[in-house]
């Protein structure tokens, strides 16, 4: 990728790098990179920028421990800006917020990422993937599993074990996402219906 980046577009030889949480798609921060910063990022798997104030390479989290664990790098259509996908460790901003714009990096957005994982597992071997094995058994088995998880959640809701209740809620939500995909839908389709109902 280095050979494809147009470092000459800007006078300082740096390109902007937008950092995005790969699991939630939330934009976390903006930094600047030169070739050395990109190489350091790829080799250490910790996002590294060129700090204009320090005039040196700077690994995000080198002092705070709030690293940005590198997952993927994309180059834009003009070859002069980067999208860096990461898994953040703690808050990204030095002010202690999740993002440099003060926004919350909502964990609920993880569901969108989880849907992509479920979709990718559909084509795997049923012998090596629980999700693939459910798809292989068909819609009746998937629907049955959702029903079983719903009953287990109701049972746990009558007790006071918070951990068991939350685990059953997680199981139900996970299998619900599988059922949606088995029917050819995504969570966004359900959200649109809820949004329309809310308007009424």
Q: What angle do CA 142, 144, 150 make, to 5 degrees?
A: 105
> Is residue 134 over pLDDT 60?
yes
Query: What domains can be seen in the chain, in order of their start residue?
Result: 2-102 (3.10.20.810), 108-199 (1.10.287.1080)
Chain segment 51-94, per-residue pLDDT in tens: 999 999 999 999 999 999 999 999 999 999 999 999 999 999 99
Say what the pLDDT of residue 200 is.
Answer: 56
19 SS3 class: strand
82, 33 contact by CB (below 8 A): yes
- Token readout for 151 is 């009953």
Rounded CA gap, 79 and 15, in Å?
9
Q: What is the mean pLDDT of residues 169-187?
A: 96
- Token readout for 1 is 């990728």
Q: Which residues contact 37 (CB under 8 A, 6 or more apart)?
A: 48, 49, 50, 57
- Environment class of residue 53 by beta-carbon count within 10 Å: exposed (0-12), middle (13-18) or buried (19+)? exposed
Average pLDDT of the chain, as a whole number: 94
**Per-residue pLDDT band at 156 (split at 50, 70, 90):** very high
pTM reported for the whole predicted model: 0.68
């Amino acid at each position: 990728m280095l050979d494809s980046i147009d470092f000459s577009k800007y006078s300082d030889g740096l390109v902007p790098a937008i950092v995005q949480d790969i699991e939630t798609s939330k934009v976390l921060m903006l930094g600047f990179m030169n070739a050395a910063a990109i190489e350091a990022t790829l080799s250490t798997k910790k996002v590294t920028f060129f700090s204009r104030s320090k005039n040196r390479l700077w690994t995000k989290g080198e002092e705070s421990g709030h690293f940005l664990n590198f997952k993927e790098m994309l180059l834009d259509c003009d070859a002069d800006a980067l999208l860096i996908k990461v898994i953040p460790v703690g808050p990204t901003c030095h002010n202690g917020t999740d993002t440099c714009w003060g926004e919350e990096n909502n964990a609920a957005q993880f569901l969108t990422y989880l849907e992509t994982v479920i979709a990718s597992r559909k084509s795997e071997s049923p012998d090596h993937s629980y999700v693939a094995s459910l798809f292989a058994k068909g819609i009746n088995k998937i629907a049955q599993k959702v029903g079983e998880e719903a009953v287990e959640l109701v049972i746990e809701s009558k007790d006071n074990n918070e951990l068991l209740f939350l685990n059953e809620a997680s199981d139900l939500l996970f299998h619900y996402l599988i059922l949606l995909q088995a029917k050819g839908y995504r969570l966004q389709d359900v959200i649109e219906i809820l949004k329309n109902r809310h308007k009424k």
